[in-house]
Amino acid sequence: MARNSPDAEHWSYFLYRMHAMARRTSGQPEARRRRARHRLILAFSGEGTLELEGSSYKVVSSHAYFIPPNASCRMTLGLQRPAELAEIEFSAIGPEGTREMEPKLPVSLPISHMPTCLMLYKELEKEAGKSGRLELRTNLRFQELLLALLEPLEASAEPQPERAVQATVEYMERHYRMNLTRQELAAMAGMSADHYTRTFKKAMGKTPTEFLTDIRLGHAKRALVLTNDSYRSIAQNVGFANEFYFSRKFKKENGVAPSAYAEKWRAERRIVTLQHHLTGHLLALGVAPRGALINGFYPLRRELTGTMAIGEFRPDLDKLVAARPGLILTYELLDEATEPKARMFGKIAPTVTIPFFADWRSQQHEVAKAAGLEREATGWLERYELKASMVRRDLRDRIGEDSVLIVGVGNRRLCLFGRRNVGAVLYEDLGIRAPEAAEGIEHFRLIDKEELFACDADRIVFTGFRNDGSEATREGIQSVLRSLRADPRWSGMKAARNGRIYSLLEEQHLYTLYTSYSHDLLLDRLLALFGDDGIV
């Protein structure tokens, strides 16, 4: 497209190159300054203020902010709600490819697909940190991130009443603590108060006031379950004028007073888990969930005898409601089919999000804190550490300084596992040496059999990779193993020559899921495994 075309400055006609990235928190103030390149700020949590070229913008979570080159800018982060931001410095290369230009980018926009953007940012962080330089793959990831942020703008180019209502819904969900009036919300939507109320009720099934009250009551339920705060404090923190009005509204909506609701929760602990690893953390603390996803990936037939199946691979909202949970545990990364349902979770029961990328001990701590099982978690972890130290001494006598490679086998696929899942126990807790091939792998890396045959590990452990226990997957795994054994290079591997190849392929992911319950089982299984002859 020619440079003088009216669309020449549209963001889609540019190539983008990332130069640097960093994280910021509330404790890191920024002086007012100008920078020569574009900046992208991703607000993951918290609040603050952005002063840009004489204008002031409110910084809120789940939003992105673009700062043009050489702009006078300062960002102040709030202290009451600690903020976590990611900052990326980049340049834009115009259609002729010879010089930097300035595409038309919005100052701020909501992050429409937070799980996708968070995953892409994590991949960017990993790529940049791994190589120490920003290469082609990193810039491709960065452009994918920009697409995920900017493409939704195209769909919303034409203003519609429904989108205006949705914008006020998102505002209410972020600012429910404030004294929000119908007139203010209507002004945000660009409508009269009466027209706004009619449009809102048609779209949401409730008036704006009723909807805002529901949001506040949902947060109040969460506080009743997760804190020991007074009812007066809870009422004020979620936006009610006083505890008496809060109590009346709460009883009208839930049929019981806040005190009775809290007592019932503590007595019954009706917890539903939406991911397998959260189920495992809860089981380790001695509590079976009231409802959970139940499928072949994580075979817990005995442990989940009294647990309701709220879905096989994804939560079914009707089944979730039928389980009558007092608390829902989930994590922030959801697939495209589940993400639209996530807004409903908090309306069904108080919902706690456990960080997916946190280490498993931190995850268990968060689960215990949410479930009121912190004492149980402390005791469990003490027992686990003692058990791990005993297994570590025993295995040192059996395998010495041998390196152990963890190979995942799936439906006609192979991968190497790193320091998550089995590696968290094998390499971290037991101190077993990782071979060179596993270095730098955080979770897993897909490989072909040529790369496996080039590995020079002393021992190899085969484990499942995305094994759902189905007949098709089992046959696919056996096909991979047959192909490996039939290859002349199999017998040339050190581990095969010495009969030190082992299998954890039974029971799908019972021993290999990244969760405290599986890690405890794995300690026992590894003792038996390395006492056997190689069996693959």
Whether 198 and 151 map to the same domain: the answer is no
Structural domain includes residue 420: yes
What is the mean predicted confidence (pLDDT) over 515-522? 96
Residue 532 has which token pair? 């056997």
Vertex 416: Cα angle to 491 and 403 (nearest 5): 65
* Window from 142-151, 153-162, 286-295, 354-363 with minimum mean pLDDT: 153-162
Top-confidence residue, 188 or 365: 365
Structure tokens at 161: 């009443």
On whether both 18 and 142 belong to a single domain, the answer is: yes
| 418-473 tens-digit pLDDT | 988 899 999 999 999 999 999 888 888 999 999 999 998 999 999 999 999 899 99
Do the domain assignments include residue 5? no
User: What Cα–Cα distance (Å) separates residue 526 from each residue in 297, 301, 361, 502?
Assistant: 20, 22, 20, 10
Q: Are 535 and 440 in contact (CB under 8 A)?
A: no
Q: CA separation (Å) from 517 to 270, 376, 384, 439, 528?
A: 19, 13, 10, 26, 18
Residue 3 pLDDT class (50, 70, 90 cuts): very low
Most confident of 135-139, 254-258, 447-451, 459-463: 459-463
Task: Report the alpha-carbon distance of residue 366 to residue 377 in Å, rounded.
Answer: 10
Average pLDDT rounded to a whole number, residues 32-61: 82
- Alpha carbons 58 and 51: distance in angstroms, whole number: 9
Q: How confident is the model at residue 45 (pLDDT cuts 50, 70, 90)?
A: confident
189-216: pLDDT as tens digits:
888 899 999 999 998 999 999 999 999 9
Rounded mean pLDDT, 244-260: 91
pLDDT at 283: 95
Does 518 score more than 90 pLDDT?
Answer: yes
Q: Can you give the pLDDT at residue 368?
A: 93
pLDDT at residue 6, rounded to an integer: 41
Instruction: Clarify whether residues 393 and 492 are in a common domain.
Output: yes
Is residue 137 pLDDT above 80, yes or no? no
* Mean pLDDT to the nearest integer, 92-110: 71
143 and 182 share one domain: no
Task: Decide if 536 contacts 481 (C-beta within 8 A).
Answer: yes
Tokens of 261: 């609701």
pLDDT at 77: 78
CA pseudo-torsion sign 282, 287, 290, 296: positive
pLDDT attached to residue 5: 41
In a domain, 355, yes or no: yes
pLDDT at 11 exceeding the cut of 70: yes
Domain boundary among 155, 185, 201: 155
Among the residue ranges 59-63, 308-312, 375-379, the one predicted with the least confidence is 59-63
User: Is it the case that residue 135 has pLDDT exceeding 70?
Assistant: no
Q: Is 512 buried (19+), middle (13-18) or exposed (0-12) by CB count in 10 A?
A: buried
Q: Cβ distance 65 to 85 under 8 Å?
A: no
> Given pLDDT bands bounded at 50, 70 and 90, which one contains residue 150?
confident
Domain CATH for 195: 1.10.10.60
Same domain, 120 and 20: yes
* 98, 28: one domain: yes
In CATH, what number is assigned to the domain containing residue 395? 3.40.50.1980
- Mean predicted confidence (pLDDT) in 346-353: 85
Shared-domain flag, residues 207 and 313: no
Banded model confidence at residue 532, pLDDT cuts 50, 70, 90 = low
Q: Considering 256, 289, 306, which residue would you say is the last residue of a domain?
A: 256
Specify the pLDDT at position 151.
79
Domain boundary among 347, 372, 397: 372
**Residue 136's CATH number:** 2.60.120.280
DSSP string, 447-506: E-HHHHHT---SEEEEEESS----HHHHHHHHHHHHHHHHSTTGGGSHHHHTT-EEEE-T
The number of CA neighbours under 13 Å toward the Cβ of 205 is 1
Residue 11 is classified by DSSP as G
| Backbone φ, ψ for residue 259 (5° rounding) | -65, -40
Q: What distance in Å separates the CA atoms of residue 534 and residue 460, rounded to the nearest whole number? A: 9
List, in order, residues 6 or more apart from 455 with CB less than 8 Å away.
Answer: 405, 435, 437, 493
- Residue scoring higher pLDDT (182 or 134): 182
Give CA angle at 20 (17, 23), nearest 5°. 130
In a domain, 2, yes or no: no
Which pLDDT belongs to residue 9?
62
Tell me which range, 72-76, 311-315, 431-435, is most confidently predicted by mean pLDDT: 431-435
Mean pLDDT of all residues in 65-87: 81
- pLDDT tens, position by position, 491-506: 999 999 999 999 999 8
Instruction: Identify the CA nearest to 366 among candidates 377, 375, 354, 376.
Output: 354
Count of domains for the chain: 4
536 domain-assigned: no
- pLDDT at residue 62, as a whole number: 84
> Is 20 a member of any domain?
yes
Whether residue 401 sits in one domain with residue 355: no
What range defines the domain where residue 424 resides? 388-529
Confidence at residue 26, expressed as pLDDT on a 0 to 100 scale:
61
Note the pLDDT of residue 27. 54
Clarify whether residues 239 and 278 are in a common domain.
no
- Residue 377 in any domain: the answer is no
Is residue 300 within 8 Å of 283, Cβ to Cβ?
yes
245 inside domain: yes
Residue pLDDT, tens place only, 380-411: 999 999 999 999 999 999 999 999 999 999 99
Question: Which alpha helices (H) appear in 95-135, and where do they start and end?
Answer: 114-131
